[in-house]
Amino acid sequence: MATSIVLALLGGLLLGALVAGVAGWLISRARSETRGARDQAELAQINSDQARTRSELAHAQAQAAEARSEAAQARTELARNQRLVAEARAEASAAQAEAAEVQAGLAKATAERTAAIQRAQEIAADREAMLNQFKVLSAETIDRQTKQADATAANRLKATEQLMAPVRESLDRFNARLTDVEKERAAMSADLRAQVQTVRQTGETLRQETSALVTALRKPQVRGAWGEVQLKRVAELSGMLEHCDFDLQTTTRTSDGTVRPDMRVDLSEGKHIFIDSKAPLSAFLDAAEADDPDVREQHLRRYAKHVRTHVDQLSSKQYWKAAETPEFVVLFLPSEAFFSTALEQTPDLTEYAARKDVVIATPTTLIGMLRSVAYGWRQAALAESAAEVFKLGRELHEKLGLMGNRFDKLGRALRTSVNAYNETVATVEGTVLVRARKFTDLKVSEADLKAPEAVDAPIRQIQAQELVDDAVSVEPMVGRESRRRSKRKSSAPEADELVRGEPDLFELTAGEAEPPSDADTGS
């Protein structure tokens, strides 16, 4: 509404200004001829009025724009006020409802308070009455209850003491045991400290002894003695006792001169195996002490080269040129680590040594080799025992043949005796007893004479061939199959000797006694 008023005013002003301008222009034009100067002044005044009118028009327009802005703000404020009024009305309604609830709760609380006051007054009255009654009965009741409580407490105390007696005893034993355990712990702690100190001292001593051992093993004489001790130990573990089946530091002559191996192992066939112990520990110990991998690798290569050099030196001695010796010699390395380290650096070491007629042995492999030799000695002893058994068996067989002849003669003699006995019985029954029974008829004697019985048991004939024939005419069962195999000639005696199985009795005694021929048996 204010905007329309402002616009109407502006329109009126504009219209008035235009009318005034037109009127002035007409007047000025009418009077232009007579009032030139005055017209000019009036024209200037009119122009000034027009300028002022324009200024007022612009000001009126600005006021109209401001009025429009204020009107928009007024509308916004009006909408916000209307919203606030609606919210206030809603809050007022909620407040009225809450006030109604509060008033209802207050009324209820007031009623409850009144009832509580009445109930408290009633309780106070009851309490006063009960207090008066209690004062009357309290003396007797308290006295009686006190006595009962004292008796009950005494009984409970006694029962509790009885129940707690085992617990007290257990606690006493536990305390005693705990004291003993603490004493034992203290003693064990002291022992443990002493043992730790001993272990520390032992470790230091072991370190010193290890250092001394390493220093000693760098000496060739000590290394040689240690290798011989290891060799002897391996021989003992294998069952090859000293001065029985092997000799240490035995001098042997070959076609090239005199050699002195570390060990000579005697075989059961009268042959020998020579063993030489080598312990090239210098480079090996240097490699173990080296921290730089490249330096360690250099020492290990030097160690492998030393082992190969020992193979060449041992091969050049040609132990197998001695009489009754297999065509190889054993190079003994006292530790498995020595051989494995050499193989890591020289994988073809075994083949190289084999081409040189050298067998490289470690304690494990040498134990197996010497136990094989010990087995050969046991088999040789078994063969000797078997030969003796064969000899005794043959003699027993011959004696059984002689005893068979004696049994045959005894059987014939028994048959003759039985026949003579039966003939005598027949004579007694046919002549003597017939006449003797007549004494019974004559009442000379009442005794009844019984006739002797004849012997009908047959004499068993000897069926065993060993007891019937002479012992030499019977082919022994032992070695029969082996004699058949002995007729086949072996094409490779050395190979047969390596792969042959367990010998039977005839093979073991072939050198002691020959099997009987057909001419000897007379068959």
CA distance 235 to 366: 8
β-pairing, 257-259 vs 358-361, is unpaired
d(CA 390, CA 506): 9
Return the pLDDT at 502.
44
Give the alpha-carbon dihedral of 373, 374, 377, 381, to 10 degrees: -160
Tell whether the model's pLDDT for residue 324 goes beyond 80: no
Cβ(451)–Cβ(429) below 8 Å = yes
pLDDT at 249 over 70: no
Residue 361, beta-bridge partner list: 332
* 178-197: average pLDDT: 85
pLDDT at 82 over 70: yes
Average pLDDT over residues 130-141: 70
User: What pLDDT shows up at residue 270?
Assistant: 72
Over residues 74-93, mean pLDDT: 80
DSSP, residue by residue, 349-392 = HHHHHHHTTEEEE-HHHHHHHHHHHHHHHHHHHHHHHHHHHHHH
Residue 76 CA to chain centroid, in angstroms?
A: 88
- Which pLDDT belongs to residue 124? 79
* Beta-bridge partners for 263: 248, 275
Residue 223 and residue 216: Cα distance in Å, rounded?
Answer: 8
How does pLDDT run across 260-296, given as a tens digit for each residue? Answer: 777 777 777 777 778 887 777 777 777 777 778 888 8
Hey, what are 390's tokens?
């064969």
Model pTM?
0.39
Containing H/E element for 361? strand 358-361
Residue 130 has pLDDT above 70, yes or no: yes
Separate counts of helices (H) and strands (E) for the chain: 14, 7
Per-residue confidence (pLDDT) for residue 360, from 0 to 100: 87
Q: β-strand 246-248 against 358-361: which pairing, if any?
A: unpaired
Smallest CA-to-CA distance from 261 within 220, 227, 218, 292 is with 227
Structure tokens that stand for 50 in this block:
């027009």
C-beta atoms surrounding 514 within 10 Å: 10
**Higher local confidence (pLDDT), 53 or 512:** 53
254, β-bridge pairs: 257
Within 8 A by CB and 6+ apart from 49, the residues are 17, 20
Are 277 and 319 in contact by the 8 Å Cβ rule? The answer is no
Give buried/exposed letters for 136-151 (b at 16+ CB in 10 A, else e): eeeeeeeeeeeeeeee
Q: How far is CA 323 from the centre of its chain?
A: 55
d(Cα 492, Cα 496) in Å, to the nearest integer?
A: 6
List Cβ neighbours of 201 (8 Å cut-off, separation of 6 or more).
none
Residue 461 in contact with residue 489, Cβ under 8 Å?
no
| Residue 160 pLDDT exceeds 60 | yes
Q: Tally Cβ neighbours within 10 Å of residue 236.
A: 13
Query: What CA–CA distance (Å, rounded) separates 323 from 264?
Result: 13
Give the closest residue to 466 by CA, choosing from 404, 517, 513, 424: 404
Q: How many CB atoms lie within 10 A of CB 458?
A: 8
Query: What share of the chain has pLDDT > 90, as a percent?
Result: 0
Band the pLDDT of 506: cuts 50, 70, 90.
very low
Per-residue pLDDT, 4 = 62
Most confident residue range from 109-123, 193-207, 339-353 = 339-353
Could you tell me which residues are beta bridge partners of residue 275? Answer: 263, 330
Between 158 and 34, residue with greater pLDDT: 158
Q: Output DSSP code: residue 477.
A: S
d(CA 331, CA 308): 11
Task: Give the model's pLDDT for residue 30.
Answer: 59
Report whether pLDDT(143) > 80.
Answer: no
Kindly state the average pLDDT of the residues 387-394. Answer: 83
Strands 329-332 and 257-259: unpaired
Size of the chain in residues: 523
CB 332: neighbour CB atoms within 10 A? 26
Distant-in-sequence contacts of 133-139, Cβ < 8 A, 24+ apart: none
Q: Which pLDDT score, from 0 to 100, does residue 480 have?
A: 46
Do 339 and 360 form a contact (C-beta atoms < 8 A)?
A: yes
Half-sphere exposure of 411 (CA within 13 A, CB side): 15
Give CA–CA dist 300/345, Å, rounded.
7
Is the separation of the CB atoms in 283 and 300 below 8 Å? yes
In sequence order, which residues have a C-beta less than 8 Å from that of residue 281 and are 6 or more positions away? 217, 218, 223
Residue 233, pLDDT score: 81
d(CA 503, CA 387): 12
